[in-house]
Each structure stands twice: as structure tokens, then as C-alpha cells.
Amino acid sequence: MAPPVFILDNGASTIKCGFAHLNPKPRLIPNRVARLTKGYRQLFIADELEKCTAWEDLHWRMPFERGILTNWDIEKVVWDRVFSPGVMNVDPSESSLLVTEPPLDLPNVSTTYDQMVFEEYEFCSYYRCSSAALIPHGKLYGPKMPEAAILVESGHSFTHVTPILRGVPVPAGIRRIDIGGHMMTNHLKTMLSFRQFEMMDLGWVVEDIKHKLCYVSQDFKADIEAAHATQPRGSDGKILPNPLERSYVLPDLATEKLGHSLPAGRSRSPTRPDHPAVRLNNERFSIPELLFRPSNIGLNQAGLAECVYQAVSALPEEARALAWCNIGVIGGNTLFEGFAERLESEIRPRAPAHLKVTIHEAEDPITCTYTSAVPFAKSKAFQQVAVTRQQYEEVGSSGLRRLFAGEKRTSVTPVPQTTSAKRKAEVVVEKGEEEEEEKEEEEAEDPEEEEEQELVVVKLGRTRSNRPSTGAGKAGASRRKSGSGSATPAPAVPTRPTRSRTKAS
């Protein structure tokens, strides 16, 4: 009987995990640790943060830095908590592991994954891959996975655009934008701290503000003009509130860790009028705009729509039409109101006019990778691609890297080649045969040419042997004049000079 498979979607901000046969929906656990900076200096690990009340005195540490797993000491502490009997109750010696990693992850990070899984925890077997390799096994694109598709994944650290062909990610077409939820939160913190209140140490509050009040503008220029437009006065003589403006009442941090938003026109809470509130105007749509215009903060990178176009262009020409109508979006940043509509409106001018552009939204963008991994972990395909501890001991991490390279082994049912693709393969084979025939003709013996070559080489050898040089060459020349010693032999003549060498000489 095959061991149970534990799925670990190891996100930079949140871990989504569970057993494939027991948990159709994952448990969400923070991928971080925190310590109180005052008093007892208590340590909170992963899910223990839910018990914390003194949020204003917390110092956070995360194992990921800019999307790269850099602190394995913290990650091990978090994984120990996740695998513990009080949380997920995982017995590594009797379980298999399916873990996710970012696309095109660094080789040394992947090697450490292998060492942690087999040497530290001693799992029976495991498999690691990116989210794009698991999504084809789910229902993001419908009940049946199309032959070609594009996956947009915008998470905590990065935004990746991955082309998928016949269920397999195409590494050469992957595009990355160095903007994720963490950067957008930091940018909002800077804007609010500069304009209103000091909030650089209230990252979780600013993140809640971003989730509740920010949205993706469908016309950025028009919204900017509306945000700065002078508002008319009402019948009572008071200036009417800007319809784009919203307020967020800050928490007191003693009894609550998060605040709440207010509708347009209200700047004070009716229940807590003494609590301060921050007002957001153009910040509401300027923050998500970074995904589509990274240059707004001086980042010299293409926007999301341009990355989708480049990813589609990396696919074979006959598969591009299908990719335009199968663009899937996952990740926490896709939850912004208006995200899919804005992405479709920007992609439409870049796609051929006669093709349809379709955006597929996940029911839950945050857990979509996990729910797609469940049927794969239950199938025989996982047992075929999972690597055992014995195999790891035989081939090491370098051998696993070759096995996992390209993620071709997680492919869904292969689609037969089209007629054009078959014809291209035939042309390549015919061309290779012609080149081999030409090479054989060049290597055929040519007696007359060989005699000419031998004569040229012999003359060249005699000329070089009679030419005096410094040191030993001068001594040899004097011996030849006096008759003592033997003459320097001519260099060996090649028996079968090829035509290419003839042209070079």
C-alpha cells in the first residue's frame, strides 16, 4: 500500500497544507515566527500567532526574502510546528511529501529542499515542482485541460507568467515581475506614513487596509483626475465627499489587532468617534496599478499584460490561438476588485483581432494550487514521479535535479502532434540526413589531392626545419653546416587530410 501523501504548498507568506486523502481543502498556516520585544519576550511560531494579543510589540521574521528561501533555520522551526501532532500530525517515516517551489528556483535552494526532506525528516518519498506543474491537474481551465494555456500567479513576493503546453510548463517562456503583495504593502506604508500617520511598524494593519479598500482601476488616468477634482457643494453649503475616498478606523491594539473601513463621506466611526482614521483617495488604485505599470516606482520591467504577450509568443505558433483564450489567474493579488477585467482589457489590443481572450478566475485563488495537487497526489502518476529516499542516497541532489528538470514528468495526458508539427520533425530529419551525406562525401579519399597535400606539407616542413631560431635552433644550424650531427627530421605527414583542413592551410 502506498504511503499517504502530505501536500505542502510552501508559500512565502502562508503555508497551505494537508493530506491528499483526508483534506480536500487545506489548512492555512502563517510561514513566519514572531517574538515580543517587551516583557517576557515570548516566541510565537506559525499558527501560534493566532493566540498573540500584543501585536504592537511583535518583531517578525520570515524564512523567505524577496521570494527566495534564505533562512532555513526559521523554515525548519515552522515545518517542525506544522508536522507536530498538535497541528497536522505528520509522520515523515511513513508519509510521502509533495512540496511546491517558485518557478526557476535557485539550484542551491532546491538542493537544500532535498537534504531537508530526506536527511532531516526522512520522508519515504517526495516530489517538488512549481504551481504551474500542478494547475493542469485541477479545474481552473474547466473539466479538461487545454493543450495550451497561460498561468498568471501573483503572490506575496513575485508575479509569474508561465506558458503551459500539453500540461507541462515551458521554462523558456516564464516571465517574472518583481512586484508582489509584500512590495505593495510596503509602498502603501510609505505613502500613508508620509501623508498622514506613522505606520511603518504596523504592517499587518496596512495589509488589512490594502485588502479592504484597494481596487484595480479600469481607467487610471480618469480616476486620477476624479480623485483630484474639486467637489461641488450640497444644498446645505457643505462640500460633498469625493466618491473615491474611503476611511479606515485604526485599531487600539489593546483589544483588537485590526480596524474597519468606513463608507464614503464618513471620517469617524459612529461607535468609536475618538479613534483616529486614515483617509485613502488615489492610494486605493495607485497600489494595484504597480502590477500593470512597474515603471510608476522606477522599476524597469514590463507590465502584466506585456508579460502575458511575451509568454504567448514563446509557444509554438500553432498553439498561440488556444493560449489567448485560456489565461488563468491565481494568487492573493488577483482578489483585487477589477483585476480580471483590467487584465483582459489590456491584453485584448495585443491579441489578434479574430481571437477570443478569456480570463479564467479560480474559485479560491489562494488555495487553487493545493486543490489542484490533491487529484495528482491521489493518482498513480505521483507514485511514478516521486523519488524515494533510496534513490536519493544513490544519485544525490544532482541526480534529483536531472529528474525534476523541466517538470516534464508531471505532464497530463499527452496530445498527439499536429500535422504541421509532424512535418517540421520530418524536415529536421531529412536535413540531418543530407548533412551526414555531405560529410561522408567530404571525407571520401581523393588521391590527386592527397598527393598535392603531402607535397605541400613536406615542403613546408623542410622550410621550417632549415629556418634558424634562437637558442637550440642556432645550435642545430651550426651543426648542419659543420657536418656534425644529423639533420632535423621533417614533421610527420598526415595520411588522410580532410578537405576542410586543405582549405584552412
**SS3 annotation, 96-150:** EEEEECCCCCCHHHHHHHHHHHHHHCCCCEEEEECHHHHHHHCCCCCCCCCCEEE
Do 453 and 502 meet the contact criterion of CB atoms below 8 Å apart?
A: yes
Do 42 and 35 meet the contact criterion of CB atoms below 8 Å apart?
A: yes
d(CA 14, CA 16): 6
What's the whole-number mean pLDDT along residues 326-336? 96
- In terms of phi and psi (left: phi > 0; alpha: psi -120 to 50; beta: otherwise), the region of 67 is left
Give the per-residue pLDDT at 285: 95
The residues of the chain that CATH labels 3.30.420.40 are: 5-130+368-405, 148-179+299-362
d(CA 445, CA 442): 8
Contacts of 492 (CB under 8 A, 6+ apart): none
d(CA 303, CA 292): 4
Give the per-residue pLDDT at 488: 44
Give the per-residue pLDDT at 113: 94
Helix axes 389-404, 107-115, angle to 10 degrees: 160
Give the per-residue pLDDT at 268: 54
pLDDT class for 485, splitting at 50, 70, 90? very low
The grid coordinates listed for 204 are 499587518
What's the whole-number mean pLDDT along residues 115-121? 94
Give the per-residue pLDDT at 474: 43
The grid coordinates listed for 183 are 512590495
pLDDT digits (tens, 9 = 90+) for 181-239: 999 999 999 999 998 888 888 888 899 999 999 999 999 999 999 888 877 676 776 76
Q: Which of 27-41, 240-254, 417-431 has the lowest mean pLDDT?
A: 417-431
What's the whole-number mean pLDDT along residues 317-325? 95
pLDDT surpasses 60 at 436: no
Do 289 and 216 meet the contact criterion of CB atoms below 8 Å apart?
A: yes
Residue 401: which of 125, 131, 175, 108 has the closest Cα? 108
pLDDT surpasses 60 at 439: no
Helix axes 203-213, 181-195, angle to 10 degrees: 100
Give the per-residue pLDDT at 473: 43
In sign, the C-alpha dihedral spanning 478, 480, 484, 490 is positive
> Between the CA of residue 71 and those of 53, 62, 112, 119, 158, what are the distances in Å?
26, 8, 11, 18, 18
Do 304 and 161 meet the contact criterion of CB atoms below 8 Å apart?
A: yes
Which letter does DSSP use for residue 498 in this model? Answer: -
d(CA 81, CA 31): 10
pLDDT more than 70, % of the chain: 76
Give the per-residue pLDDT at 266: 57
Helix (H) or strand (E) holding 329, with range, is: strand 327-330
More confident residue, 410 or 136: 136
How would CATH label the architecture of 5-130+368-405? 2-Layer Sandwich (3.30)
The residues of the chain that CATH labels 3.90.640.10 are: 181-290
More confident residue, 151 or 406: 151
The grid coordinates listed for 114 are 532535498
d(CA 417, CA 27): 40
Domain 181-290 falls under CATH 3.90.640.10: yes
Q: Domain 148-179+299-362: which topology? A: Nucleotidyltransferase; domain 5 (3.30.420)
In the sheet that holds 246-249, the strands lie side by side as 260-262, 246-249, 277-280
pTM above 0.75, yes or no: yes
pLDDT digits (tens, 9 = 90+) for 23-74: 999 999 999 999 887 767 788 999 998 887 777 777 889 999 988 999 999 9
pLDDT surpasses 50 at 500: no
pLDDT digits (tens, 9 = 90+) for 151-185: 999 999 999 999 999 999 999 999 999 999 999 99
d(CA 144, CA 238): 58
What's the whole-number mean pLDDT along residues 283-289? 95
CA atoms in the 13 A half-sphere facing the CB of 446:
14
- 3-state SS assignment for residue 494: coil
The grid coordinates listed for 310 are 511575451
pLDDT surpasses 90 at 489: no
The grid coordinates listed for 294 are 512597474
Output the DSSP codes for 351-365: S-TTS---EEEPSST
d(CA 306, CA 312): 10
Residue 296: which of 191, 195, 434, 387 has the closest Cα? 191
pLDDT surpasses 50 at 479: no
pLDDT surpasses 50 at 4: yes
pLDDT digits (tens, 9 = 90+) for 348-402: 999 999 999 999 999 999 999 999 999 999 999 999 899 999 989 888 888 888 7
